Structure 1
Amino acid sequence: MSSSTDAPAAYQPPPGRVGNLTETQEAALAQLKQELEAEGKLVPERMDDPTLLRFLRARKFDVEKAKLMLLECEKWRVEFGVDDLTKNFDFKEKEEVDKYYPQYYHKTDKEGRPIYVERLGKLDIKALYALTSQERQLQRLVYEYEKFLNDRLPACSAAVGHPVETSCTILDLQNVSLSAFYSVKDYVAQASKIGQDRYPETMGRFYIINAPWAFSAVWTVIKPWLDPATVAKIDILGGGYKDKLLAVIPVENLPKEFGGTCQCPGGCSLSDAGPWNVPKAV
């Protein structure tokens, strides 16, 4: 991942990031590194300063709590088989699953963050689980998180000229039914927990669009699963969301179905278009 020293002078890192730390935060980062090294738990290739700072921010720079969170994550990585997954996972059913529960990365917002889209309103649970399983859906989620950290963010950082550490998410609830949500609530709960506990501080903005009137009942179920800092990043919008999205996403990067002009050949949901997938010059 690009360091702040590579960035143009105009770029100002947000608080709590490399290049914008208070003395207390600098000391917390140094202490966390020192303790991990002393205990033989520091994994340099995976625990650079931006990563350690994500865990520290998630625990309000409480070193002991951040270290516990990080070590629990390391234990989970072994139990879940993350390293093997990143090398060998093949989601062969991706094209078919896309018809019944589209989940995809697509281009970037105006801050250079990768855009992640989920269309829960298109969910057909019976058709989905005839093709795949909840276990494979969670494996896919983790595989994509790893790709997000190791491929997408570095590519976005290089493209925009400064560190990019978070995503911009669009969750489309058009035509969603309460029964459809409750049929996947176990998956959503587990997915939320993985995101919050294992990949903290990677959400930049989160837009819930086409939220039906009944969504308040669903939100009552979801909200307790989330950290208050996460809840603060979520905008719940009804059908009048286009201006809000276009304020943060270039019109040419937003898929046409959400009010933009992008129409990728074969559909935006399967294109994987973005700086991470630019063909290399021969």
Structure 2
Amino acid sequence: MAAENPTMTLNAKYDDYDFPTTAPEGRPGHPGHLTSEQQAQVDQLRLLLEAEGYTDRLDTLTLLRFLRARKFDVNLSKKMFVDCETWRKETKLDETVPIWDYPEKEALFKYYPQYYHKTDKDGRPVYIEQMGGIDLTAMYKITTADRMLTNLAVEYERLSDPRLPACSRKAGSLLETCCTIMDLKGVGITKVPQVYSYVKQASAMSQNYYPERLGRMYLINAPWGFSGVWGAVKGWLDPVTVEKIHILGSGYQKELLAQVPAENLPKSIGGTCECEGGCAFSNAGPWQDAQWTRPAKWEKKAGAAAATTAPKEAAAGESVPVTAAEDAPAAAPAPAAA
């Protein structure tokens, strides 16, 4: 049942959004559709976190995702948020994202393509994984498990910003989730232990540290006997997440194309798109379109930090420090509210 008098109060200190902030569907607890009690729980969670010294990621949309993930239990949401911040600090994620380089990507994609590619019919980013070629023994000669998981985390950060804000601007309403396609073609019984091991770690990261980011998931080309593996995987996931997942066999095209336009779907999985250089490497989507994209907050922050230490040539040939205010790029004008 939708909230009576749906509303959402933004916080002037933390909510500096330049994209729509109202969810397209009036589901309770989603942005723009809060009860007065849910709004109070957002404020309470923020106050508790501020009291413990947290200052980052206290914006309303982020706090709402953690609250929804814990059914608006403020104490459980606080624990989830704190655990996430602890993980971010331990992995030095905020320092890693602006400087992350993954030169082994092309070699790894021969075994395990993982990429964002255009959007579904709801305007959400489409994320694709093709798991049939996974060979962890060969892959670990190219990279490490830690680097693979770090790259996954970096891509989640880039999903949060700039991908989803760009999609929201184009759609004219807030989009917070993605459409995931996992192609299981070629995943035979001998590969199940390797796939199981990695997916378990990746699923834990997604569920624990990036809540409420899954809109729909399609598992296509599910092999015979997959139901047993799926029974184990479901045990790691929240029941709400399980409801978003569709298990499809080799005849998946009709259902998948009902959600993703053929021109947005790579030809390798039943669509018509053939990006120059390969869809897996194109990163095509609204986040590449100057009309919709803006510099990510982590880019601005990294640029401002660099500007405070960058030398600036003085008239006499001496160098002096440049302040962030002098060198930071001007903010792009915000689009009209949704």
Root-mean-square deviation (Å) = 1.7
Superposed counterparts of 1:208-223, under 5 Å: 208-223=219-234
SS at match of 1:17: coil
C-alpha distance in 1, partners of 2:195/2:258? 31
Matched, 1:163 2:190: no
Residue aligned with 1:77, SS: helix
TM-score (norm 1): 0.92
Q: Kindly indicate whether residue 21 of structure 2 is the aligned counterpart of residue 4 of structure 1.
A: yes
> Are the equivalent residues in 1 in contact too, given 2:20–2:168 (CA < 8 A)?
no
Q: Aligned to 2:76, which of 65, 70, 73? A: 65
Find the partner of 2:54 among 34, 41, 45.
41
- Which of 94, 102, 111 is the matching residue for 2:113? 102
Check conservation: 2:118, 2:284, Cα contact below 8 A: yes
The aligned counterpart of 1:79 is 90
**Aligned positions of 1:201-212 closer than 5 A:** 201-212=212-223
Residue 312 (structure 2) pairs with residue 264 (structure 1): no
The amino acid of 2:42's aligned partner reads: L
CA shift digits 1:26-60 (9 cap, x unpaired): 121121122222332232xx221111000000000
Deviation at 1:17, TM superposition (A): 1.5
- AA aligned to 2:179 is C
Distance (Å, rounded) in 2 between the aligned partners of 1:51 and 1:132? 32
Which residue of 2 is the match for residue 23 of structure 1? 36
Partners of 2:178 and 2:214 within 8 A in 1 = yes
Whether contact under 8 Å (1:125, 1:180) holds in the other structure is no
Percentage of matched positions with identical amino acids: 52
CA distance in 2, matches of 1:181, 1:273: 31
Unpaired runs of at least 5, structure 2: 1-16, 293-338
More helix by share: 1
Number of residue pairs matched by the alignment: 275
DSSP 3-state at the match of 2:118: strand
Residue 263 of structure 2 aligns to a residue in which SS?
A: coil
8 Å Cα contact 2:135-2:194 kept in structure 1: no
- Deviation by residue 1:254-280 (Cα, 9 ceiling, x = unmatched): 111222211111111111111112267
Report deviation, 1:196.
0.2
Deviations 1:188-208 (A, max 9, x none): 111111100000010000000
